[in-house]
Structure 1
Amino acid sequence: MEQFFFSNWTSIARTLVIGMAAYAGLIVLLRLSGKRTLTKMNAFDLIVTVALGSTLATVLLNKSVPLADGLTAFALLIFLQYALTWLSVRSKTVSKLIKSEPTLLVYQGAFLSAALKAERVTEAEILAGLREQGVASLADAAAVVLETGGDLSILKNTSDGPQSVLQDVPLKQK
């Protein structure tokens, strides 16, 4: 039963040393790769983030995985993330493969029912988002957009209208 709670001090020392070194290595690699590596997450970014966390846990707790192997895995994941985002900025085809497009959920004060169903968003969630932004009425919403990261963008009615910022959002009617 003693092994269940404590094996030996060497194991704890290894976890501390490898943990600090792996964490420092991960920080350095993330800083070298730039701000885009862990930005607001789309599905692809989430996968990379989870993979980095899993790799860190494996390096920390699995004595058969050397620190150098863990750092190599970090570097590989970050390089792949960097390469794919680099390609997505330069190729619309690659960008469409890895990123979703924003979806219009409310337009000119009216719910777009088909879009709400397709994106699995309820009218109550939209109304809550409107309240959070201080919009008192659905009629005061020029548009509500479900962004690629899952956030709702609320555009209030103005004299100029919402068209300028909606140029990349496909308009799909009810």
Structure 2
Amino acid sequence: MWHDLVVVQIPIVEKVLRTIAVYALILVLFRVAGKRGLAGLNTFDMVVVFLLSNVVQNAVIGNDNSLLGGAIGAVTLVAVNSAVTRWLARDPRAARLLEGTPTTVVRDGELVPGALRELALRPSELEHAVRVQNGDDLSDVARARLEPDGQLLVTLRAAERSATRGDVEELRRRLDTIERLLTDLGRRP
């Protein structure tokens, strides 16, 4: 029993190389699948993620079911992901290549032709994102773009934006000025 737990049944270098190769493959697959795959996982996306992990499991572990072999695979996966994340943070060209660039989907309240089709987004998903970000509908949007990480950033038209603390303070100052003027007018004979 102890033998099966701690003795790695394939060479450690092979285990590390298998893990890196599968990581790279999945990275490429998600890059090809596009930003929409990260925008929000629906039921179908979740099924794919669960099945994908099962499909590549044997490619990562090979003929090794040992605890130590699994630990080596897990450590390799986390280390490679950490290295790639740090690389992307330092190198904008690598980030553009591996992550892509933002895609504008709404400009001046109108859908950008072909953008939703290119990203495989449904209008209802876009409308929901606008409502979540305090807009009523697409006509309220100055610009919306889907970021490489799958987040939809919506910029509402100036008239549709919520008031900021600065806006409220400015109104308070103006009201104070009006009150002083009214008080002064009330004191005059």
Please, what TM-score do these two structures have when normalized by structure 1? 0.52
Structure 1's 93 and 137: CA in aligned 2 closer, same or farther, altered over 3 A?
Answer: closer
CA RMSD of aligned residues (A): 3.8
**Partner Cα separation in structure 1 for residue 75 and residue 158 of structure 2:** 47
Structure 1 residue 97 displacement after superposition: 2.4
Gaps of 5+ in 1: 1-9, 19-42, 162-174
Could you tell me which amino acid in structure 2 is paired with residue 136 of structure 1?
D
**Partner Cα separation in structure 1 for residue 93 and residue 134 of structure 2:** 38
**Partner Cα separation in structure 2 for residue 119 and residue 70 of structure 1:** 36
- 2:142 is aligned with 1:129: no
Could you tell me which amino acid in structure 1 is paired with residue 153 of structure 2?
S
Number of positions where the alignment pairs a residue of Structure 1 with one of Structure 2 = 116
Structure 1's 144 and 70: CA in aligned 2 closer, same or farther, altered over 3 A?
Answer: same
User: What is the aligned partner in structure 1 of residue 150 from structure 2?
Assistant: 150
Structure 1 residue 150 displacement after superposition: 2.4
Gaps of 5+ in 2: 7-29, 32-37, 39-48, 162-189
Could you tell me which amino acid in structure 2 is paired with residue 98 of structure 1?
L
1:88-107 equivalent positions in 2, closer than 5 A = 88-107=88-107
Q: Percent identity over the alignment?
A: 21
**Partner Cα separation in structure 1 for residue 92 and residue 64 of structure 2:** 42
| Greater RCO, 1 or 2 (C-alpha within 8 Å, sep 6+) | 2
Could you tell me which amino acid in structure 2 is paired with residue 69 of structure 1?
G
Could you tell me which amino acid in structure 1 is paired with residue 132 of structure 2?
E
The list of structure 1 runs, each at least 4 consecutive aligned residues, that deviate by more than 6 angstroms after superposition, is none
Could you tell me which amino acid in structure 1 is paired with residue 105 of structure 2?
L
